[in-house]
Amino acid sequence: MAARVPGGIISPGAVGYDINCGVRVLASEIEYQTAQKNLSELASSLYHNCPSGVGEKGSLPLSIKELEQVCRQGSRWARERGYATEEDLARTEEFGCLEGADPTRVSQRAKERGKGQLGSLGAGNHFLEVDVIEKIFHPEAAAIMGLKQGCLAVQIHCGSRGFGHQICTDYVRDFQQVVINYGIHLSDRELVCAPIDSPEGRAYLAAMKSAANYAFANRQVLAYQARRSFQEVFGKSAGELLLRQVYDIAHNMAKIETHRIEGEKMTVCVHRKGATRAFGPGFADLPPEYRPLGQPVLIPGSMGTKSWIMLGTEANEELSFGSSCHGAGRVMSRKSAKRQIRGDRLRQELEREGINVRAGSMSGLAEEAPKAYKNIERVVDAVSKANIALKVARLRPVAVVKG
């Protein structure tokens, strides 16, 4: 949703509990045919190096002081410690850091939950996936992005873990009184909000940015660990970069942006809950090689289904505030999926299809079964036909790490 600024609102519930849940894609020149015999070993290495699961500890525990530095610096914190390259940051939304984050607006409870989880996937629909680039639809864009048909790629889908969840929980609770104070009437308590230029609104925005920066750093550390796994399995020297970043993009975020509404340019607060940015060619914050193309749009499938890399269009900025879906969306609740699907059988089915699966929980695996989601091909076709984003490449999973 969007609200005018000043006089608009910001809503923690409309941003979501997993602040800056996002997707990162890394591409390689390793051909699937030559790597196929190593995929089981690779899946095991990724599962070991990239912790996953409910409440699972991360690979890089922090002190409270270090956590606060991550909140302010995002991916820059990771770069300063050798976990990122300059190209990684250039190919990350907002260069991996939102200005204006203020960890003093974050509760001690959130900090305690977050300090031990950096460098972890979590559970739910989060995953790390090895894919083969199955088909190229836009050769020029694919070449610039480093996508080669028949080669391996990696997707990382995760966010701000318990840190962001606690921030949302805290502010949804506190804003129950805020809406009363400002005379705001809502039908759903989860949509509580505050005027964006109010002290409460500014406090949440600063806390949300802290969680967003934590999430950027989290995916960056996981990317580092994924590269480490590829080096362990394929025996390359540490100095050779096997996985080059394509892009990292967020969903579950509120952004202050300028858009044209009914012919007039306006500054608005765009809430992208379950949506991702999809700006067209010429967007200044893209790296130079991407500006003529438009912003990469990453739409992952659901463990066993295809995923897509697309490009935002100029027309989309008038259609949907420069936004796209970030996935297919559920057709079955998690409880319903667990009632209907057995995780162990699903794992066997996926492995018969040539997908190596590593999961800490069979019930968690069942929750994220492909049949619990809409048909990704239909969703992507709708996005393409509506001119929201253009198809670049289709990816097929060959190894999946789940919590």
pLDDT averaged per 10 residues in sequence order, the chain, 403 residues: 58 96 96 95 95 83 97 98 96 98 98 96 91 98 98 96 97 96 90 95 98 98 96 72 91 93 90 95 96 96 92 92 92 88 90 90 87 92 96 97 84
Q: pTM (2 decimals)?
A: 0.95
Q: How do residues 23-64 score in pLDDT, each as one tens digit?
A: 999 999 999 999 999 999 999 999 999 988 877 788 899 999
Name the amino acid, one letter, at 112.
E
Q: How far apart are the C-alpha atoms of 306 and 397, rounded to whole Å?
A: 7
pLDDT at 317: 86
pLDDT at 343: 87
Domain ranges, residue 230: 2-402
Quick one: tokens of 394? 């289709």
Q: How far apart are the first and last CA of the chain?
A: 31
The distance from CA 363 to its chain's CA centroid, rounded to whole angstroms, is: 23
Please tell me whether the peptide bond between 370 and the residue prior to it is cis, using omega within 30 degrees of 0: no
Quick one: tokens of 224? 């580092």
What CATH code is carried by the domain that includes residue 398? Answer: 3.90.1860.10
pLDDT at 240: 52
**SS3 per residue for the chain:** CEEECCCCEECHHHHCCCCCEEEEEEEEEEEHHHHHHHHHHHHHHHHHHCCCCCCCCCCCCCCHHHHHHHHHHCHHHHHHCCCCCHHHHHCEHHHHCCCCCCHHHCCHHHHHHHCCCCCCCCCCCCEEEEEEEEEECCHHHHHHHCCCCCEEEEEEEECCHHHHHHHHHHHHHHHHHHHHHCCCCCCCHHHCCEECCCHHHHHHHHHHHHHHHHHHHHHHHHHHHHHHHHHHHHCCCCCCCCCEEEEEEEEEEEEEEEEEECCEEEEEEEEEEEEEECCCCCCCCCCCCCCCCCCEEEECCCCCCCEEEEEECCCHHHHCCCEEECCCCECCCHHHHHHHCCHHHHHHHHHHCCCEEEECCHHHHHHCCHHHECCHHHHHHHHHHCCCEEEEEEEEEEEEEEC
C-alpha dihedral over 95, 309, 151, 35, to 10 degrees?
Answer: 80
Domain total in the chain = 1
Quick one: tokens of 117? 């989880």
CB-based burial, 368-399: b 16+ in 10 Å, e otherwise: bbbebbbebeebbeebbeeebbbbbbbbbbbb
Q: What is the sign, positive or negative, of the torsion defined by CA atoms of 288, 292, 295, 299?
A: negative
The distance from CA 331 to its chain's CA centroid, rounded to whole angstroms, is: 20
pLDDT at 262: 85
Active site residues: 326
Q: Under 8 Å CB-to-CB from 68, ≥6 apart: which residues?
A: 103, 111
Q: How do residues 131-182 score in pLDDT, each as one tens digit?
A: 999 999 999 999 999 999 999 999 999 999 999 999 999 999 999 999 999 9
pLDDT at 237: 55
CB-based burial, 59-85: b 16+ in 10 Å, e otherwise: bbebeeeebbbbbbbbbbbbbeeebbb
pLDDT at 318: 86
Q: State phi, psi for 218 to the nearest 5 degrees.
A: -60, -50
C-alpha dihedral over 217, 221, 226, 229, to 10 degrees?
Answer: 180
Quick one: tokens of 386? 């509506």
pLDDT at 1: 38
Q: Which of 76, 151, 91, 121 is nearest to 298 (CA)?
A: 91
Q: How far apart are the C-alpha atoms of 56 and 28, rounded to whole Å?
A: 28
Q: How far apart are the C-alpha atoms of 96 and 394, rounded to whole Å?
A: 25
Quick one: tokens of 193? 């909000």
Q: How many CB atoms lie within 10 A of CB 203?
A: 17
pLDDT at 263: 86
